[in-house]
Amino acid sequence: MSNPPRVYLDTDVILDFVLRRDGFFGKAARLFQAGMEGRVVLLASAGSLKDVFYFARKPAGSGKLGSEKRGREVVRLLLQVVEVCALDRLMWEESLLSPVRDTEDALQVACAGRHQADFLVTRNLKDYAGALYPQVVLPEVLLATLGTGG
């Protein structure tokens, strides 16, 4: 039996799931379901979880910060299915030399590569132009690869 693919989640995909974003939630939910079923290993950076915590505190449709308790609960649930990838100095140095133009996205690529991700899943392929490894794909492409539809 082969190991399940390692799938690094861009922050936007995690937020699609957590915030139940219209038009994107279903695909993100199927990715998380695949993680819960052990068909993939889901990975995310510690920085992404920090960002998710921030946005999860906001009540739906509000620009105001909401509940600290809600933010903590969301992260607690994510920790049950997502492996957290630490960021370090070498990843920062790699990202600063990366052909990926946006430094935050280059940092995601460096983190995904360091943690041996097979795929980096994002809705923003253009932001990752120049990334050589891992393979950067849309959620629906990965879902089709897994045989769960896009």
Per residue in 37-66, pLDDT (tens digit) is: 999 999 999 999 999 998 888 665 555 556
Q: Which residue ranges make up each domain of the chain?
A: 6-145
pTM above 0.85, yes or no: yes
Q: Report the distance separating Cα 113 and Cα 132, nearest Å.
A: 10
pLDDT at 111 exceeding the cut of 90: no
Q: Report the distance separating Cα 63 and Cα 76, nearest Å.
A: 23
Q: Report the distance separating Cα 17 and Cα 56, nearest Å.
A: 11
Q: Residue 80: helix, strand or coil by DSSP?
A: coil
For the segment(s) 6-145, the CATH number from 3.40.50.300, 3.60.130.10, 3.40.50.740, 3.40.50.1010 is 3.40.50.1010
